[in-house]
Amino acid sequence: MARIIVVTSGKGGVGKTTTSASISTGLAKRGHKTVVIDFDVGLRNLDLIMNCERRVVYDFVNVIQGEATLNQALIRDKRVDTLYILPASQTREKEALTKDGVEQVINELSETFDYIVCDSPAGIEHGAQMALYYADEAVVVTNPEVSSVRDSDRILGILQSKSRRAEMGQDPVKEHLLLTRYNPDRVEKGEMLSVGDVEEILAIPLLGVIPESQIVLNASNQGVPVILEEDSDAGQAYDDAVARLLGEEREHRFMTSQKKGFFSRMFKGG
């Protein structure tokens, strides 16, 4: 039985796809057979972030509608060999994702994979609800900013009422907060909500804090999941988050501003 993890947020542009790419790559790198599914029908982008956009032949909707087998649609990652990508359809309607169709695909994947990561589209409509419906766990990606925090709370409400676990009266979906685009300097100046503030408002356990970093754009430009940028703070923060997801205890890092000393400023030009 695979563990099904949805990466969701409500609000768009907060880093869901970036996070899905990194978490799935991180799980696979640790030897777990992992598949990451793009649920954003019509606006597929996970393929670009994972650098396999030119290898897409069949997609998620083709599989649901019986036009292709799962094996035909799954794309094996070229960097980590236990990682597979199931791309979204670019041409179909969002309604092509039916509850039964998604269940069938997830059940089949469940037989051979350890982890199924579902990259949710933005919003709280059909696509987002399909992405979270079968989840065992949810990574709620949030920026330290009012609209993102409010939308995250909204999506938490949906997880608690409209997921399969909620409808069946099973144990609730396990929720994790992942705070992204965090800028400790601005927090210290009182210009940005702190980790503590967001934790207090959303009241769910903190999985990790990803610092705002230029590396993230550089990585997406090249189709490299951020977690593979192992020397960068954001890459290491994602690695910590994956470790915590697997039950490892790791201290939170990159939450305070790194004040540059005189010498490092002189020599690094920062």
Closest CB to other proteins among 97 and 192? 192
Q: Which is nearer to other proteins, 40 or 212 (CB)?
A: 212
Residues 92, 70: Cα–Cα separation, whole Å = 18
Min dist CB 102 to other proteins, Å, is: 25
The sign of the CA dihedral 238, 48, 229, 77 is positive
Sequence-separated (6 or more) residues with CB below 8 Å from residue 119: 7, 16, 17, 20, 36, 37, 38, 39, 40, 46, 131
Rounded to a whole number of angstroms, the minimum distance from the CB of residue 198 to other proteins is 9
Comparing CB distances to other proteins, the nearer of 147 and 264 is 147
The answer to whether the annotation marks 223 as part of a ligand binding site is: no
**Residue 15, marked binder:** yes
Is residue 82 marked as binding?
no
Beta-strand (E) ranges in the chain? Answer: 3-8, 34-38, 75-76, 83-86, 115-119, 137-142, 174-182, 206-211
Token duo for residue 70:
């799962």
The H or E element spanning position 103 is helix 99-112
Q: Which residues bind other proteins (CB under 8 A)?
A: 145-146, 149-150, 153-154, 157, 161, 187, 189-194, 197, 200-202
17 is in an annotated binding site: yes
13 annotated among ligand-binding-site residues = yes
Q: Is 169 annotated as a binding-site member? A: no
Closer CB to other proteins, 201 or 215, in the complex: 201
We find the least distance from the C-beta atom of residue 166 to other proteins, in angstroms, to be 12
Least distance between other proteins and beta carbon 189 (Å): 8
Annotated binding residue at 26?
Answer: no
Nearer Cβ to other proteins (167/191): 191
Whole-number minimum distance, CB 196 to other proteins, in Å? 10
Per DSSP, what are the bridge partners of residue 115? 3, 34
Between CA 76 and CA 247, with CA 234 as vertex, the angle to 5 degrees is: 70
Closest CA to 7 of 104, 133, 120: 120
As annotated, the binding site includes 11-18
Residue positions in the annotated binding site for ATP?
A: 11-18
